[in-house]
């Protein structure tokens, strides 16, 4: 695997629906939009729990599969617009425009740092494990494990 592997963030435009019958059997698909590559359709087996769990508007990481398409690179990224951060009711304390912009900047920096960390884990795993890993799914699992263990070890 080369170092030109591209990892991009994308937003789910249309989540999976009912399984469809295709030339090679049943499948599901979801449509994502990424600034770097436009609309990307991801296909999966009907039992693909990760693909089925993604909701409209949710952010995910996609990785170039070096065959003209993309695959899901990891568990869905946190969508800050739809989740509570665990600090109670978000509407309880209104924010000033300066606080909102500062918060957006902090969120963006956090996402970018974790995206870079995952990309580093993925590329390093692809280099070190190239002779052992035969498919992208196994490589994604290895990279995700390294990413999670790195976060735990360094309290990220």
> pLDDT tens digits, residue range 16-53?
989 999 988 999 999 999 888 889 999 989 988 888 88
Domain assignment present for residue 47? The answer is: yes
User: pLDDT-based confidence at 6, cuts 50/70/90?
Assistant: confident
In a domain, 28, yes or no: yes
Does residue 18 lie in a domain region?
A: yes
Q: Is residue 90 part of a domain?
A: no
Distance CA(80)–CA(105), nearest Å, equals 12
In a domain, 89, yes or no: no
User: Does residue 106 fall inside a structural domain?
Assistant: yes
Per-residue model confidence as pLDDT tens digits over 55-73: 899 888 888 777 778 888 7
For residue 139, the enclosing domain spans: 7-82+96-153
Number of structural domains the chain divides into = 1
88 versus 104: which is more confidently predicted? 104
Interval 124-137: pLDDT, tens: 998 988 888 778 88
More confident residue, 3 or 34: 34
Residue 103 is encoded by which pair of tokens?
A: 């918060």
Q: Does residue 14 fall inside a structural domain?
A: yes
d(CA 90, CA 18): 35
Q: Which range, of 4-8, 44-48, 112-116, 135-139, averages the lowest pLDDT?
A: 4-8
Tell me the backbone φ, ψ of residue 20, rounded to 5 degrees: -115, 155
Q: Is the dihedral of CA 52, 11, 103, 98 positive or negative?
A: negative
Cα radius of gyration rounded to whole Å, the chain = 17
- Please check whether residue 1 lies inside any domain of the structure: no
Contact 77, 117 (CB under 8 A): no
Place of tokens 């990891």: 74
């Amino acid at each position: 695997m080369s170092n030109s592997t591209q990892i991009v963030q994308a937003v789910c435009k249309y989540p999976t629906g009912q399984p469809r019958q295709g030339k090679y059997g049943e499948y599901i698909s979801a449509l994502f939009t990424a600034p770097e590559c436009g609309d990307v359709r991801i296909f999966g087996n009907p039992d693909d729990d990760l693909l089925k769990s993604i909701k409209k508007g949710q952010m995910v990481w996609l990785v170039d599969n070096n065959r003209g398409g993309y695959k899901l690179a990891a568990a869905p990224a946190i969508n800050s617009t739809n989740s509570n951060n665990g600090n109670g009711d978000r509407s309880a304390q209104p924010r000033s425009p300066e606080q909102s912009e500062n918060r957006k900047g902090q969120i963006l920096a956090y996402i970018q740092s974790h995206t870079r960390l995952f990309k580093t884990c993925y590329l390093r795993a692809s280099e070190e494990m190239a002779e052992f890993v035969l498919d992208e799914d196994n490589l994604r699992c290895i990279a995700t494990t390294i990413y999670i263990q790195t976060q735990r070890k360094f309290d990220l």
